[in-house]
Every structure is written in structure tokens, then in C-alpha cells.
Amino acid sequence: MAQVHQDSSPTNIPRMDVAATAGVPWRHDARIIGLVGLAHGTSHFFHLLLPPLFPWLIQEFGLNFSQLGLLVSVFFVVSGVGQALAGFLVDRVGARPVLLVALALFAAAAAAAALATGYSGLILAAMLAGLGNAPFHPVDFTILNRRVSAARLGHAFSVHGITGNLGWAAASLFMAGIATATGSWRLACVGAAVGALAVLVAMVWHREAIDDRRGKVPEPAQGRPAAGLPDSAATAGEHMLAFLSLPSVWLCFSFFFWTTVALSAVQSFASPALQAMHGLPLSVTSLVVTAYMLCGAAGMVLGGFLVRQAERLERIIAACLLGSAAMLALVGSGWLPGMAAWALTALAGLGVGLAGPSRDMLIKRAAPPGATGRVYGTVYSGLDLGFALAAPVMGRLMDMGLPHAVFLLSATALVAGVGSAGLVGRHVAAARRSGAAKVVA
């Protein structure tokens, strides 16, 4: 019996895929990447449909901060539960119809907010927005993995992450800007609804480009056992929940949870924490989140190049996130003067951004064939859980007069995320070596 010798090193696997798809025109990939990026940016925009309007909502309805915080929790709880379930739906009916429904739900959420006459109306808006947000990661990554050539997949993940950051940045400017300029927060919500409908029209117009069940790009995992799955589980007859037995799936979930705890700390509380620690004016500290997101976007651009050359993705993730953790820990120490702490907080976003494309590619390698939507839906629900749980903890620390703890906890969460990513990489590498060793003729 002659044995077929196959190099099992991680770096050779994507090269096989690149060779199979080298003839794909760049315009084809650019169109798909742009459309998915637009949809992803829209989903992040609707993360912040209501928070920029909190000052107006307090005045309009006499709400307190606990009630407003509950709106954020409602959004992410609905999104988190829905995201895990949406992955199954995407795998069954395809990503395109789910994407179109999600965009329609965003428009409905903005309309519900514009028409709200009390707190219950705002709760309804938060629920609709969370339901619309739920399927976006399984939808986005299913389309990218199936429709974009492997040679450009790292850049696709990079653009995907960048558009998410830009969506966050645009939401605050758009919602608060319209409310300030017109004196009506309801008009801001109407504008958001119109924007969601415009994106929906664009997706319908280009519907053939985002059809994940048409013209699939070959995946290197096809034709051999899936990473982390035993041979018998990598068959067409496997149970739809078989992927839940993979340790790598739950390690990816934990990775997203920890890194989102860090993001939530910076996004929600870096500004008041810096103000409390150093007495900086709010006009200065309020810009630190925007600067962090822009540094993150720049990092994602560079990260798209890094991921193409990576043999061990978890090493890139570790180096980048540990660098960011060190910066945030230094800020939390209180040793730096005010503006230096501000600058280092913003710069920490660069490392998180650099790790983004490698993170998404690592999850792709951990996903068994035919379960892309389910895996992404499950692991990305860790993001929603991180947002839902971190905010009240960070708020409590601020109430206790411990603003420096916000940065220290954020740094600790990044270190925990590095540990999770390292274990994912170890599981995937071991499974690939095991699969290659079994290939015989």
C-alpha cells in the first residue's frame, strides 16, 4: 500500500487554496467584499442606534441611567441568543435571504424608536435592532468564505473589521449630529431608517453577488476530515449539532468573550475614567474612543497582509493583544500624565486591529465543512455576551471610585483572550496533523 505524502504544515494549506483560485478577477472579489463590508458597517451602526441619543431620551421621557443601560443589555441579549440560532438558519436557507430580512429589521427598529411614546417603545426598538443584528456574523463570513477567493480572504476579513469600526464611528456623529442640528432626536431615527432601507435596496440590486449558494470557491478542507472532527463526524450524515463537540469552537467563543470585555471597557468608560483619573476635559476625553477605533481600523489594514504570511495565526494574535494589554495596564497604573494616558489608550486599538484578520482566519480553520454559519454564529455570540455583562461591571467600578480598574480589567481580559486563541491554534494544528497522517492510497 503506497502512502501519499502530504505536507501538514498550516502554511501549505492556504497555498493550495490560492492556487485553485488564482484566476478569480479582483473586481469579482472587490465587489463582494464591498457589499459585505457595507452590510457589516450598517450592523455596527445600529449597535449605537439609541446610546448617542441618551441625553435627549432623558429629557423626553425622564429616564435614569439604569433604565438606559437596560436598553443596551436588551439589544445584546437578543442579539447574542439570536446569533447562535441564526447560524443554523444561514446554513439551511443561505446567507442572502437572512441578510435582507436583517436589514429590514434595522429599518423597523429605527421607525419604532422614532414613533416611541415611552420606555416600552424604546425597549421594542432595542429588541428589533438586536434581532436584526443577530445574523450578521454568520451571514458575512459565510458569504466571504464561499464567494471570495482564498488569495484575498485575509484582506476580506480586514475590510470586514474596518467597516465595523467605521460603523461605530459614524453612528455617534450621525445620530447626535442630526439631533443637535434639528433639535429632534426622532428625525435622527428617521434618518437611520432611511439609511437601512438604502442599504437594503443596494443588496437587492446586487443580489447575485451575495448569493453564497452560487459559484462557491473551493475550500481546502473539502475532501478530507474537518479540523478537530473525527473521520466519522466529517461525513454528510453527521448531526447538525456535531460541531458543538469541538473544543476549538468553545475556545473561540471564550476568545470573543474576553476580547469584547476589553472593547466594552474602552468603548463605554475610557472617557469618564480618564476624566476622573487626570481631570482632563470631557471635550478631550470624549475623542479617545474615536481615536481607538481609528487606530483599530488602521491595524486591520495591516493585519490583512500579516495573515497571508502566517504559519501560526495564534502567534500574531498573542503578540498584538499582549502589546495592547501592556499599554492599557500602563494607563491603569496611573503613572502617566493625562495626555500620554489618552494617547496610549488610543494606540492600544492598533494591536487589537492587527489581530482581527488573524482571529477571523483562525475561526475559519476551526470550522468543519458545511458548518460555517453555525460555527460563526456560536462563537460570535461570545461578543454579545461580553458586551451584555461587561458594561454593568465597569459601571460599578466607576461608581466605586475605581476608574483605573477599568483599564486594568481590560488588560486582563486581553491576556485571557490570548490564552484562548493559543489553545484554539493548538487544537487546529493537532487536528490537521492527525488528518494528514491518515491520508493513504
272: exposed, middle or buried (C-beta count within 10 Å: 0-12, 13-18, 19+)? middle
Task: Kindly state the helix (H) or strand (E) to which residue 62 belongs, with its residue range.
Answer: none
Residue pair 45/193 in contact by the 8 Å Cβ criterion:
no
Amino acid in the structure at residue 9: S
Residue pair 386/263 in contact by the 8 Å Cβ criterion:
yes
> Which residues in 181-218 are b (16+ Cβ under 10 Å) and which e?
eeeebbebbbbbbebbbebbebbeeeeebbbbeeeebe
| pLDDT value of position 432 | 59
If one counts every other C-beta atom within 10 angstroms of the C-beta of residue 412, the result is 18
pTM above 0.85, yes or no: no
Residue position matching grid coordinates 490537521 = 432
| CA–CA gap between residue 36 and residue 375 (Å, rounded) | 18
Residue-range domain boundaries for the chain: 26-210, 245-441
DSSP annotation of 216 reads P
| CA–CA gap between residue 201 and residue 181 (Å, rounded) | 27
| pLDDT value of position 140 | 87
Domains 26-210 and 245-441 share a fold: yes
**3-state SS, residue 218:** coil
Nearest-10 crossing angle of helices 403-437, 313-333: 170
| pLDDT value of position 228 | 41
| pLDDT value of position 224 | 39
Q: pLDDT (tens digit, 0 to 9) for every residue of the chain, 441 residues total?
A: 333 333 333 333 333 344 344 566 778 888 889 999 999 999 999 998 988 788 788 889 988 767 877 888 889 889 888 877 887 788 788 888 999 999 999 999 999 999 999 999 999 999 999 999 998 878 888 888 888 887 777 778 778 878 888 888 788 778 888 988 898 999 999 999 999 999 999 999 998 887 766 654 444 444 334 444 333 344 445 556 655 656 667 777 888 888 888 888 887 778 888 988 998 886 687 678 778 888 888 887 777 676 665 566 667 788 888 999 999 999 999 999 989 999 999 999 988 888 877 766 666 666 666 555 666 667 777 777 888 888 777 777 877 888 899 899 999 999 998 888 777 767 666 655 565 444 344
Instruction: Report the topology of domain 26-210.
Output: Growth Hormone; Chain: A; (1.20.1250)
Q: What is the DSSP secondary-structure string of 251-302?
A: HHHHHHHHHHHHHHHHHHHHHHHHHHHH---HHHHTTHHHHHHHHHHHHHHH
Per CATH, is 245-441 categorized as 1.20.1740.10?
no
Residue pair 169/293 in contact by the 8 Å Cβ criterion:
yes
| pLDDT value of position 105 | 97
